[in-house]
DNA sequence: TTGAAAAGTTAGGCTGAACTAACTATATTA
DNA sequence: TAATATAGTTAGTTCAGCCTAACTTTTCAA
């Protein structure tokens, strides 16, 4: 019963996401890299790892490697999915510059609930379908933005 | 030179927005009402008012009325505009239930920058125009969501 | 016009999230 | 393999935001 609470703070979500991304190739994440990714001190990372371990989302021992638990992977994947849906909407449909879309997704991903993300994903699918069916929505919107 | 910093925290933005809305009819906002609106203690409101006064966004004296300064009005109006654009997108285009759209807008309004809001507004205009021109995008999306 | 209720403030405490500085453990390489 | 560089931890601090409890000020009605 180590798990203190189920809801993650925006900050802890960021850590989890960073670990997920860092571990995507090597399977493990190093403290130092997490710190660099999030522009945070190593001491802050240690603190976050303890909190995440407490919630049973990471396997962590002082001076040891960090890996995600099963639950950690699931949670992280959800966050990453949110991020990608958002970014895709902002960049591909609204036509916002990649870098800005990326940044915006990073922040908003913590605030938007499942209803919004689901609908957004559905909307992306819809637009894709419309584009395929000859009604070039994205193109039209782009034109609309350019004039005036 | 009371202004300590220019960037507002999400929390202070919430206070400013609440004051703006409360003052929209009576021109003044009472501490108690701010507290109720934000579900926060009266003591927290006092703290926030001091911070906002420090940034020269509200006129505030202990035990006195609260009004927005010129700068406060401008800033608050921006926040409210963000909120409305977001809510309109979520509710009118994505078809998300009003209450949920409202809540989501409350949170996301603090994280999205001007580029996103501008584009979103443009997108709403675009969809409105398309709807008027006979291509019922919103309706089509609604249908698309229903089937499957 | 005064005294009780309502509104607001102050004091003090808690938590989360960050920091620095100093320490410890691990890894590397001469 | 020992010394040094790198990585990670611990201790202690700060700050924002919130809280409660106790106090002060203002308002209003008998």
Domains (range + CATH), chain A? 10-68 (1.10.10.10), 81-146 (1.10.60)
Question: Whole-angstrom distance between the N-terminal and C-terminal Cα of chain B?
Answer: 60
CB A46 within 8 A of CB A28: no
Residue A77 pLDDT exceeds 90: yes
Cβ neighbourhood burial of B105 (10 Å; 0-12, 13-18, 19+): buried
Protein CA at A77 to nucleotide C1' at D13, angstroms: 35
What does the alpha-carbon distance between residue B142 and residue B140 come to, in Å, rounded to a whole number? 5
Give strand letter and number of the nucleotide nearest B40 (CA to C1'): D18
pLDDT band at A109 (very low <50, low <70, confident <90, very high): very high
What pLDDT, on a 0 to 100 scale, did the predictor assign at position B147?
86
Q: Which residue of A has its CA nearest to B99?
A: A115
Min distance A142 CA to chain B CA atoms (Å): 10
Looking at the DSSP assignment, which residues form a beta bridge with residue A29? A66
CB A82 within 8 A of CB A117: yes
Collect all residues of chain A within an 8 Å Cβ-Cβ radius of residue B130: 140
Q: Span B66-77, mean pLDDT? A: 97
What pLDDT, on a 0 to 100 scale, did the predictor assign at position B4?
46
What does the alpha-carbon distance between residue A98 and residue B115 come to, in Å, rounded to a whole number? 12
Q: Span B122-131, mean pLDDT? A: 96
Best B111, B130, B139 member to test A by mutation, with max A CBs in 10 Å, is B111
Q: How does the average pLDDT of chain A come out, rounded?
A: 94
What pLDDT, on a 0 to 100 scale, did the predictor assign at position A4?
45
What pLDDT, on a 0 to 100 scale, did the predictor assign at position A114?
95
What does the alpha-carbon distance between residue B39 and residue A95 come to, in Å, rounded to a whole number? 38
Tokens, residue B115? 């580029």
CB B117 within 8 A of CB B85: yes
Tokens, residue B87? 């809510």
- Our CA dihedral for B3, B5, B11, B17, rounded to 10 degrees, sits at 50
Facing B126 at nearest CB: one of A112, A122, A141: A141
Tokens, residue B85? 């654009």
What pLDDT, on a 0 to 100 scale, did the predictor assign at position A2?
47
What pLDDT, on a 0 to 100 scale, did the predictor assign at position B6?
77
Residue A1 pLDDT exceeds 60: no
Collect all residues of chain B within an 8 Å Cβ-Cβ radius of residue A119: 90, 94-96, 145
Min distance A78 CA to chain B CA atoms (Å): 18
What does the alpha-carbon distance between residue B91 and residue A133 come to, in Å, rounded to a whole number? 26
Tokens, residue B6? 């220019």
B2-53 residue pLDDT tens: 554 479 999 999 999 999 999 998 889 999 999 999 999 999 999 999 999 9
Report CA-CA distances (Å) from A124 to A48, A91, A140, A142, B144. Answer: 34, 11, 15, 16, 11
CB B18 within 8 A of CB B38: yes
Residue B1 pLDDT exceeds 60: no
What pLDDT, on a 0 to 100 scale, did the predictor assign at position A129?
95
Q: How does the average pLDDT of chain B come out, rounded?
A: 94
What pLDDT, on a 0 to 100 scale, did the predictor assign at position A120?
98
Q: Span A118-122, mean pLDDT? A: 98
Residue A133 pLDDT exceeds 70: yes
Share of chain B above pLDDT 70, in %: 97
Whether A44 CB is under 7 Å from strand D: no
Q: Span B101-117, mean pLDDT? A: 96
Using alpha carbons, select from B102, B55, B50 the residue that is nearest to residue B76: B55
Contact between B112 and A123 using a beta-carbon 8 Å cutoff? no
What pLDDT, on a 0 to 100 scale, did the predictor assign at position B139?
95
Whether B44 CB is under 7 Å from strand D: yes
Contact between B112 and A115 using a beta-carbon 8 Å cutoff? no
pLDDT band at A15 (very low <50, low <70, confident <90, very high): very high
H helices present in B1-148, as ranges: 10-26, 31-38, 42-54, 70-88, 98-108, 114-132, 137-146
CA A91 to chain centre: 15
A29-53 residue pLDDT tens: 999 999 999 999 999 999 999 999 9
Q: Which residue of B has its CA nearest to A129?
A: B144
Q: Give, in degrees to the nearest 5, the angle at Cα B119 between B117 and B122.
A: 110
Give strand letter and number of the nucleotide nearest B8 (CA to C1'): D16
Contact between B116 and A122 using a beta-carbon 8 Å cutoff? no
pLDDT band at A26 (very low <50, low <70, confident <90, very high): confident
Min distance B78 CA to chain A CA atoms (Å): 18
């Amino acid at each position: 019963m180590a798990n203190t609470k189920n809801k993650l703070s925006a900050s802890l979500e960021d850590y989890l996401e960073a670990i997920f991304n860092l571990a995507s190739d090597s399977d493990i994440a190093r403290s130092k890299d997490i710190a660099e990714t999030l522009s945070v001190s190593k001491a802050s990372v240690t603190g976050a790892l303890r909190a995440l371990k407490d919630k049973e989302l990471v396997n962590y021992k002082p001076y040891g490697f960090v890996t995600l638990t099963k639950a950690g992977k699931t949670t992280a994947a959800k966050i990453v999915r949110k991020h990608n849906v958002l970014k895709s909407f902002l960049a591909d449909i609204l036509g916002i510059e990649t870098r800005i879309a990326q940044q915006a997704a990073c922040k908003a991903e913590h605030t938007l609930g499942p209803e919004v993300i689901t609908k957004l994903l559905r909307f992306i699918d819809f637009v894709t379908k419309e584009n395929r069916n000859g009604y070039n929505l994205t193109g039209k919107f782009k034109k609309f933005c350019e004039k005036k």
